[in-house]
Structure 1
Amino acid sequence: MQEAGQDIYGEARLIDAMVPRNAKILDAGSGPGRLGTYLQRAGHQVTGVDIDPKLIAEATRMCPEATWITSDLTDLLQALDVPEVAELGESGFDAIVCAGNVMTFLAESTRLPVLKNFRAVLKADGRAVVGFGGGRGYDFEQFFADVSAAGLQIEQTFSTWDLRPFATDSNFLVAVLTR
């Protein structure tokens, strides 16, 4: 994609613009670390989590200064060593980025638990930014209902990572969520 001239860091630049330097950022569904590496090198403390150990190995190779954890997002609290009944509060993440259609790869039964985990590890004034395409098995309206059920609020919605307005006929969603 990069060789074809496409922007592969737009998601990371958006997160970088939302937080102060040295922010704690969770790259949820990090894959090989494309976004987390960018954010770590931009001066943040990044923790990336992905279920695929080969992708985590590549992320570690690309950016050994970040923290990379092999885990399912449903097991996020255990992976981060957070007591299940606790929330991280002020020691939590300033931002969570969940890009690359990660939410659409989750089993339907795990979507709400993952969103609840995001809430648990997010600072009181932190923001989670989730982006995914329509027509991939996770209806936007159902996502909005799950966000509410997880105790999160929708602060903003966009139809692209470069912040074009979201409309009912948008085929992509970028949602900025707060506690």
Structure 2
Amino acid sequence: MSDPERTAAPVDYAPVRAAYDTVADDYAARLPDTRAEAPLDLAMLDHFAATVSASGAGAVLDAGCGAGRISRYLADRGCAVTGVDLSPGMVAAAQRAHADIAFTVGSIADLPYPDDSFDGVLLWYSTIHTPPEQLGPVFREAARVLRSGGHLLVAFQSGSGTRDVSPAYRRLGHDVELHRYLTTADEVVPLLEAVGMSETCRLVRSAHGHEADQQTVLLARAG
């Protein structure tokens, strides 16, 4: 990951889509809101919402929105939120729970929106199933749909290596294969800079509760 311009083969997201389609209803029931977030995480989301609303119309893309719980949080803070997720099952759950927000199916690596569409893009733990060396296209897409001066907020588990998260879902009766990849702020920031964004704020906190890893939240500005 030392070269942020390095190209890599496209990620095969089909297994990720299949896994989240399988667990969508359980996921939505167990994580209906932001109760899993630490106060520092919510502070970063609050700052993002306020910053985006102050700098534009407050149009935010929740890219990798899952069942829409963070979309709801941002909408309740005045943002005009659109959600997109790879999993049709997750999008269906989001639509049921939050009928006033627009959700659609799509990949964070190939967003179904025109250039310069949003004042803010949120990648809230939605990059974690992409290998670190293949994150470039994801951030290029985020930069493409951001308006000049817009803001990106990205959150992920910090560290190195891979975690198998399949056992957690198997305990709920779901036979899925799902892994997440760890990376660091110092590795991600050059990727953001390579697509014309600059870091404006960084939170790195220790694990709490049932978390196994440090957590990072980065705020960056386009243009």
Question: Could you state the TM-score of these two structures normalised by the residue count of structure 1?
Answer: 0.76
Structure 2 counterpart of 1:95: 120
Structure 1 counterpart of 2:70: 35
Q: Which runs of 5+ in 1 are unaligned?
A: 161-169
In structure 1, what residue type is equivalent to 2:67? P
Alignment CA distance shift 1:143-1:36 (3 Å)? same
Query: Which secondary structure does the structure 1 equivalent of 2:73 belong to?
Result: helix
Q: Distance in 2 between matches of 1:108 and 1:158?
A: 19
Whether the aligned pair in 2 keeps the contact of 1:93 and 1:121 (CA below 8 Å) is yes
Q: Determine what percentage of the aligned residue pairs are the same residue.
A: 23
Q: Distance in 1 between matches of 2:142 and 2:135?
A: 11
Q: Distance in 2 between matches of 1:50 and 1:2?
A: 16
Whether the aligned pair in 1 keeps the contact of 2:127 and 2:156 (CA below 8 Å) is yes
Alignment partner of 2:129 out of 105, 108, 112: 105
Task: Report how far residue 107 of structure 1 moved.
Answer: 3.5
Whether the aligned pair in 1 keeps the contact of 2:60 and 2:79 (CA below 8 Å) is yes
Alignment partner of 2:105 out of 70, 88, 102: 70
Structure 2 counterpart of 1:17: 50
Structure 2 counterpart of 1:166: none
In structure 2, what residue type is equivalent to 1:96? V
Alignment of 1:124-143 (within 5 A): 124-135=148-159, 136-143=181-188
Structure number with larger C-alpha Rg: 2
Structure 2 counterpart of 1:149: 194
Query: Which secondary structure does the structure 1 equivalent of 2:143 belong to?
Result: helix
Greater shift, 55-64 or 6-15, is seen at 6-15
Give the count of matched residue pairs. 158
Task: Report how far residue 40 of structure 1 moved.
Answer: 2.3
Whether the aligned pair in 2 keeps the contact of 1:24 and 1:44 (CA below 8 Å) is yes
Alignment CA distance shift 1:109-1:158 (3 Å)? closer
Q: Distance in 2 between matches of 1:52 and 1:13?
A: 26
Task: Report how far residue 108 of structure 1 moved.
Answer: 3.9
Alignment of 1:43-82 (within 5 A): 43-76=78-111, 79-80=112-113, 82=114
Alignment CA distance shift 1:41-1:152 (3 Å)? same
Greater shift, 106-115 or 147-156, is seen at 106-115
Q: Distance in 2 between matches of 1:58 and 1:104?
A: 21
Task: Report how far residue 2 of structure 1 moved.
Answer: 8.0
In structure 2, what residue type is equivalent to 1:27? D
In structure 1, what residue type is equivalent to 2:136? L
User: Are residues 1:177 and 2:210 paired?
Assistant: no
Deviations 1:89-122 (A, max 9, x none): xxx21111111x2222114454101101111111
Runs of 4+ in 1 over 4 A off after TM superposition: 5-9
Deviations 1:3-58 (A, max 9, x none): 9x655781543332223285101111101000112222333221111101111101
Q: Which runs of 5+ in 2 are unaligned?
A: 1-30, 160-180, 206-212
Query: Which secondary structure does the structure 2 equivalent of 1:55 belong to?
Result: helix
Q: Distance in 2 between matches of 1:2 and 1:62?
A: 9
